[in-house]
Structure 1
Amino acid sequence: MSADPESLRTPLCDLLGCKYPVILAGMGGVARSELAAAVANAGGFPTLGMVREAPSLIISEIEAYRRLSDRPFAVNLIPAATDPGLLDQQIETCLAMEVAVFSFFWDVVPEAVARVKEAGALLLHQVGTLRAAREAEAAGADVLISQGQDAGGHVHGRTPTFDLLRAVLDTTALPVVASGGICTGLALAEALAMGAQGVQCGTAFLATQESFAHECHKRRIVDAGPQDTVLTDGFVLNWPKGSAVRVLRNSVTDGFGTDLMGHDPDAIPREIIAHDGDIPRLRQSTDSPLRTTTGALEQMPHYAGTGLGEIVGIVPAARRLLDFCTEAAALRGIAGRAQAPGEGAA
């Protein structure tokens, strides 16, 4: 039996230039240069989470990343939830910085896909439905990230992770990556066994030393279990109406009672509860608490997927990645031995 994590290598690794088939999710605010570089240097594939960020921050984060790592990386943008003028500046900035891989999410915007593809970039598109998977492929995506409802943060579909993965695999010949509640080597091994070429992880890397999340957010993930997450569109300011997120329960979600869905952003008071420097953060906005955030942190969304019960400590990202991949390799080795022709016959 082999527990060599390099045995997990798939064609996706060759495409992205990484050692292990594990992608760091482009978590807005959280997946910045320090975490991305730690994942890249340990053998995973990193994504910088730059949703709706100013071009100046995109430049500074890319520069910081390149000082820490020489490994390939992606930049995550959300075309459907970004002002068109800002999106244009973001893409232009990334292309000027010679970004070779983009990661998009939410509704497929063919014009945005075409722009990065025409520039010669590789595109990973995260989808939450079969319809979106087909639209992303038709628009020109190179890799589909199949996100199930078990994911933390913004959740586009309502299908369990492995059910959606199976359906997407059946409908496309593109490389498919599984995402949503994947926090263990067992989940990685299962995804690969089903035909996925890799997995994308957010929650598992949020609770690491290099993550830009606030310590209170990391600690809550370690202390909570799957039963502590809820899916709600109550944290919707800054995103389109009806955009659901999976978060840990807090005083705000408790205040919703059974009305977790159906919140109209136009009817939500703009109440400042926290700040990141001079930037105000509103109650029921999508902004989660970061290292730089001060104020009523408990009332902010603490994103977490359903796999968080397996996360028992805040550790370096490299250790989490290696433990994750070593476990998956060992489990695949056991499965391979159990299925060997004639082995165990009387």
Structure 2
Amino acid sequence: MTIDPLHTPLCDLLGCEVPILLAGMGGVARWELAAAVAGAGGYATLGMVREDPALITSEVTALRAATDRPFAVNLIPAATDPALLDAQIKCCLDLEIRAFSFFWDVMPDVIARVKRAGCLVLHQVGTTEAASRAEQAGVDVLVAQGVEAGGHVHGRTAGLELAQSIRDISKLPVAIAGGISTGRDLAAALRAGLDGVQCGTAFLATDESFAHDYHKTHVTAATGTDTVLTDAFVLNWPKGAAVRVIGNSVTEALEGRYFGHDPATLPRETIAWDEDQPRLRFSTDSPLRTTTGDLEAMALFAGEGAGGINEITPAGSRLREMAETARHILTREDQSPG
């Protein structure tokens, strides 16, 4: 029997064929993208950060109609009003969601609540200290996010270094996130003894992503050196929350002062709209299919792996290409003499 070099214990735990996880990108990772990733054998996550329970219900319903494969729902407790977070979790449990993905601050009470309901918990972390707290709180999978990642960035350590440090202190499966966009990246992660990868930027620039085409095309044109890490896009999140974005007029106007921005003192200037919802300059909102207005000045999230993404493709095609490339690399290495 041929052993698939991509099959890790994480696949068995999550119920996927290959250890490629879709990042729970808020606004972007809706049911179409999640279904495409799951259908191609990866593990899907619905990005439901700060979303109304009614939208969670409709997205989960649509995803289940499209696939019977397992998935997680991503929530960010630290960036969500407590009353809304309570309603989100209740909604998910009423819908019999079996897995949650959390990020940012480790909140043991939240983890305990969903664990009592029998749910699987994945937690993305940016430091070894956060990984230890998450493991002590009872999570099942750790996602080590490197500083190369797009969107909100928790730590300041290179992904592979962080993931291996967490692997050294943890008994849990460890996946790596940040700068992972190709099959070569996946092969390197598995070769390093990690259990899988989580991808955001690679799946943002796909047909099924709910990101605006403006955002997608800028990702395909960017390289890692075009990205900037800053806490200027911080409205809606706690003070000091940094993001990696493609440089634009907002970051250029900072003149190198990328950190030290206080959401309490930033101006509230509407620059775009999502239907009847205003989108503010310096907010963490990125342009979606439904967004109109000054898209250039919004947060165009992208990681340093953007250089490996040169076209907008179906998500399933990108995932299968990643898997086949990694499989070829690892198989060739196994068969090489010595």
Structures share fold, TM-score greater than 0.5: yes
Shift of 1:337: 2.1
Give, as a single letter, the amino acid of the residue that structure 2 aligns with 1:255: A
Number of the residue aligned with 1:310 = 308
Q: Distance in 2 between matches of 1:192 and 1:7?
A: 9
Give the counterpart of 2:18 among 17, 20, 28: 20
- Correspondences of 1:226-265 after superposition (within 5 Å): 226-265=224-263
1: CA distance, partners of 2:168 / 2:87: 37
SS in 2 for 1:211: coil
The reply to whether residue 97 of structure 1 matches residue 95 of structure 2 is yes
Q: Distance in 1 between matches of 2:78 and 2:265?
A: 22
Q: 1:189 aligns with which of 179, 187, 202?
A: 187
Report deviation, 1:81.
1.2
Corresponding position of 2:335: 337
The one-letter code of the counterpart of 2:269 is E
Q: Contact (CA 8 Å) 2:146, 2:155: kept in 1 or not?
A: yes
Q: Which TM-score applies when normalising by structure 2?
A: 0.98
Distance in 1, Cα, partners of 2:77 & 2:136: 17
Identical aligned residues as a percent: 61
1:30 — aligned with what? 28
Equivalent position of 2:48 in the other structure: 50
Corresponding position of 1:62: 60
Inter-partner Cα distance in structure 2 for 1:75 and 1:273: 29
Corresponding position: 1:9 with 2:7: yes
Deviations 1:229-270 (A, max 9, x none): 000000000000000000000000001111001101111010
CA distance in 2, matches of 1:113, 1:155: 21
| Counterpart contact for 2:5–2:331, Cα < 8 Å | no
Is the contact made by 2:5 and 2:330 (CA closer than 8 Å) also made in structure 1? Answer: no
- In structure 1, what is the Cα distance between the partners aligned to 2:79 and 2:133? 17
Over residues 71-96 of structure 1, what are the superposed CA-to-partner deviations in whole Å (9 max), with x where a residue is unaligned?
Answer: 10000001111111110000000000
Residue 344 of structure 1 corresponds to which residue in structure 2?
none
Runs of 4+ in 1 over 2 A off after TM superposition: none
Deviation at 1:61, TM superposition (A): 0.4
Q: Which residue of 1 aligns with 2:210?
A: 212
Residue ranges of structure 1 left out of the alignment (5+ in a row): 342-346
In structure 2, distance between residues paired with 1:323 and 1:219: 20
Match of 1:156 in 2: 154
User: What's the TM-score, normalizing by structure 1?
Assistant: 0.96
**1:274-293 equivalences in 2 (<5 Å):** 274-293=272-291
One-letter identity of the residue aligned with 2:329: L
Distance in 2 (CA, whole Å) between partners of 1:225 and 1:197 is: 27
Partner of 1:174: 172
Match of 2:220 among 197, 219, 222: 222
Distance in 1 of aligned mates of 2:71 and 2:16: 9
Q: Which residue of 1 aligns with 2:197?
A: 199
1:76 aligns to what SS in structure 2?
A: strand
Displacement, 1:312?
A: 1.1
1:102 aligned counterpart, secondary structure: strand
Partners in 1 of 2:181 and 2:277 — Cα distance? 32
Q: CA separation in 2, counterparts of 1:275 and 1:97?
A: 30
What amino acid sits opposite 1:199 in the alignment? V
Amino acid at match of 2:202: A
**Cα distance in 2 for residues equivalent to 1:29 and 1:203:** 13
Alignment partner of 2:319: what SS?
helix
Write the distance in 1 (CA, Å) between the matches of 2:105 and 2:58. Answer: 28
Q: CA deviation at 1:193?
A: 1.2
Aligned ranges 1:314-325 → 2 under 5 Å: 314-325=312-323
Matches within 5 A, 1:290-305: 290-305=288-303
- Distance, in Å, in 2 between the alignment partners of 1:66 and 1:173 is 32
Match for residue 39 of structure 1?
37
Distance (whole Å) between structure 1 residues aligned to residue 51 and residue 112 of structure 2: 21
Deviations along 1:47-69, whole A, 9 cap, x unmatched? Answer: 00000100000001001101111
Distance 1:51 1:310 in 2: 27
